[in-house]
């Protein structure tokens, strides 16, 4: 009798564990686009952005952003990035050693119907290269037609951006 109860309990535990294994979590991130920032290719605001080959997170160059007033600097835009029901993440390395004020990464996801999602992350102060990321969730039924990355600068001076990735993480 005890053996039957033990076997029944063991079978029940295996069924519960198997059911838990079938639940899907978020998928693996995939790079939609990579901007190494070692050239001015695809940079939108070329009036305040220049290439700095002498200062970089990876040694290959970075984007130097110099502003004399608070500014929104348009960096990159990816058209028709793809999936609905996904998390979109812009990742970058930012250095604000010569900036008076704050700098923030801003991601804007535009939809064909005119709607948008707008999120941002602010740097934590001057110093070394700081990895930053900004993300937003796109729900089922929403299909973005473009995803933009801006640098919001609240003061004046210079900051640098390097190693920019746009990733997509499917949500199940």
Is residue 75 a part of any domain in this protein? yes
Report yes or no: 87 and 137 within 8 Å, Cβ to Cβ: yes
Is residue 68 a part of any domain in this protein? yes
User: Residue 26's pLDDT band (boundaries 50, 70, 90)?
Assistant: low
Is residue 19 a part of any domain in this protein? no
pLDDT 10s digits, 92-150: 999 998 889 899 999 999 988 888 899 989 986 677 899 999 999 998 888 889 999 99
> In whole numbers, what is the pLDDT of the chain averaged over residues?
84
Q: Region of 80 please: left (phi>0), alpha (psi -120 to 50) or beta.
A: left
In order, the DSSP letters of 153-164 are: ESSEEEEEEEEE
Is residue 10 a part of any domain in this protein? no
Is residue 1 a part of any domain in this protein? no
Question: What whole-number distance in Å separates Cα of residue 67 and Cα of residue 47?
Answer: 10
What's 95's domain CATH number? 2.60.120.260
Domain assignment of residue 61, given as a range: 26-170
Question: What whole-number distance in Å separates Cα of residue 21 and Cα of residue 14?
Answer: 11
**Nearest-CA neighbor of 79 among 165, 166, 141, 148?**
148
pLDDT 10s digits, 52-75: 999 999 999 999 999 999 999 999
Global confidence as pTM? 0.81
Is residue 7 a part of any domain in this protein? no
Is residue 20 a part of any domain in this protein? no
Count the domains in the chain: 1
Cα of 97 vs its chain's centroid, Å? 22
């Amino acid at each position: 009798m005890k053996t039957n109860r033990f076997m029944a309990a063991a079978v029940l535990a295996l069924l519960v564990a198997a059911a838990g294994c079938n639940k899907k979590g978020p998928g693996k991130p995939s790079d939609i686009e990579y901007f190494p920032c070692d050239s001015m290719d695809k940079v939108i605001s070329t009036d305040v952005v220049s290439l700095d080959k002498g200062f970089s997170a990876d040694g290959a160059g970075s984007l130097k952003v110099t502003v004399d007033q608070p500014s929104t600097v348009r960096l990159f835009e990816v058209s028709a990035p793809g999936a609905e029901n996904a998390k979109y993440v812009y990742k970058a390395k930012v250095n604000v050693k010569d900036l008076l004020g704050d700098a923030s990464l801003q991601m804007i996801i535009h939809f064909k119907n005119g709607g948008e999602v707008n999120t941002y992350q602010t740097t934590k102060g001057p110093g070394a290269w700081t990895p930053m990321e900004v993300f937003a969730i796109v729900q089922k039924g929403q299909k973005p037609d473009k995803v933009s990355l801006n640098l919001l600068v609240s003061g004046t001076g210079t900051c640098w951006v390097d190693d920019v990735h746009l990733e997509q993480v499917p949500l199940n």
